[in-house]
Amino acid sequence: MTRRTGGLGYLLLAPAALWLVLFFVVPFYSLVATSLFDPAGSDFRGYEMTYHWQNYTDAVQEYWRPMLRSLWYGALATFFCLILGYVLAYAIAFKAGRWKNLMLVLVIAPFFTSFLVRTLSWKLILADDGWIVDTLQTLHLLGEDGRLLVTPFAVVMGLTYNFLPFMVLPLYASIDKIDHRLIEAAGDLYANPVVGFFKVTWPLSLPGVISGTLLTFIPASGDYINAQLLGGPNQRMVGGVIQSLFTDANDYPTAAALSVIMMVGIVAMVLVYVRRAGTEELL
């Protein structure tokens, strides 16, 4: 019976394994192989496999600024999502009552709209002739010639808005599992609300914090739509560089090398982050 059960388990895993091989292992191998092509070819068909490792150093030397900018914008967006998302998830879990399901639907409602449309909406909101810029200029918080578009602020705010649900849902799932009696016990032991939060609520919600930050940081760092629509050349992120190299410059080796560098770098940072946070079981 045990052998049959084990064979059945492998059989059930076969479709998922086949899916991963076809749509992850094979494309990843193709990406790595492309990054080692001779960049002297005039088009993709002209490239030859020469194991040209110089593509990686050339990519870093030429595009290190967009790479660091992408990580920085992704980190800022993740931080803002964590602050806003934690407050919202806490309110839904502990304060929403019978409105809990409705609030959860409202959190995921933006997903029913195109990512592109949502970003274009922010472009209208932050436009130079929009009400936000007019209000800030009236309050003298922004100069007469000041603007919000084509600035790092616009890009980070766009990332924060678009990826906020990725933070809220894991946080809610974690906070909702917390036994409220533990928080009451902290109060009975003369802990004020702030101390009780950092001694009870925050540690118990760490799995959701780690999951939410990973789900937010990884796609935010690789995004290029927000930088393209809300920013300018000085706010260009590495995703836009890779897209341009693939589609406009036809520089496949450099684009593939940048993709591999970002992928490996983000995976390394994730491993360090998760282990330092003490939640290795999330891996």
Cβ atoms of 277 and 206 closer than 8 Å:
yes
3-state secondary structure of 204: helix
User: In this predicted structure, what is the pLDDT of residue 42?
Assistant: 45
Tens-digit pLDDT profile for residues 61-109: 999 999 999 999 999 999 999 999 999 999 999 988 889 999 999 999 9
Across 18-26, average pLDDT: 92
List, in order, residues 6 or more apart from 252 with CB less than 8 Å away.
Answer: 34, 37, 44, 47, 245, 246
Name the residue type at position 98.
R
Tens-digit pLDDT profile for residues 153-205: 999 999 999 999 999 999 999 999 998 889 888 888 888 889 989 999 999 99
The structural architecture, per CATH, of the domain 63-282 is: Orthogonal Bundle (1.10)
The rounded distance, in Å, linking the Cα atoms of 93 and 205 is 12
Give the start-to-end residue ranges of the domains of the chain: 63-282
Tens-digit pLDDT profile for residues 231-268: 988 999 999 999 999 888 888 899 999 999 999 999 89
Mean pLDDT of all residues belonging to the chain: 88
User: In this predicted structure, what is the pLDDT of residue 25?
Assistant: 92
CB-CB neighbours of 157 under 10 Å: 20
The rounded distance, in Å, linking the Cα atoms of 55 and 230 is 30
Distances in whole angstroms, Cα of residue 132 to Cα of each of 115, 138, 253: 22, 10, 43
Tens-digit pLDDT profile for residues 124-140: 999 988 889 889 888 88
**pLDDT exceeds 60 at position 2:** no
User: In this predicted structure, what is the pLDDT of residue 93?
Assistant: 92
User: In this predicted structure, what is the pLDDT of residue 278?
Assistant: 65
